[in-house]
Amino acid sequence: MEAIKNDDKKLFGDFAVLACGLDEDKHRAFLSVAKDFSGDLKVVFAADGSENKTLSELFKLDDLYGFLKPSLMPKALIMSGFRQNQLLEFIEKVKHALIGFELMAVLTPISVKWKLSDLLNELKKEAEEFKRRRENERDDKKSTT
């Protein structure tokens, strides 16, 4: 996994985001943040039933696809086609808006071929591993003091 840098390098894919697992109020809040960030940013909402589609299929959907449709998926945000410095700024705006995404990813030439359910499962595993590592580091610090 490559770290995102604060430079102008464009990341893989078209300029778009895929939001999963949001209720209607969060749909509205996220759409406002996304379109305020850039009117050119395509926003797709993964509705229930999208889990078996590939990311390639989902990112080809029309702007605002799935808006206000229910989703019981984990709260996840997949971003595509940003410049690295834009991505960092966008993530800060999303965090500030308290949308509550549990999982975030950047689309890659490999993940674009994955089903959404597979990516979400992989992101959950990674999040659990990071949490476990942080807890272990915290425990290690406590035991040395």
Give me the tens of pLDDT residue by residue for the chain, a chain 145 residues long: 566 777 789 999 999 999 999 999 999 999 999 999 999 999 999 999 999 999 999 999 999 999 999 899 999 999 999 999 999 999 999 999 999 999 999 999 999 999 999 999 999 999 999 889 888 887 777 776 6
Enter the DSSP assignment of 100: -
Domain residue ranges of the chain, discontinuous segments joined by +: 16-144
Q: How many CA within 13 A on the CB side of residue 64?
A: 7
User: According to DSSP H, which parts of the chain are helical?
Assistant: 24-37, 55-59, 84-96, 116-144
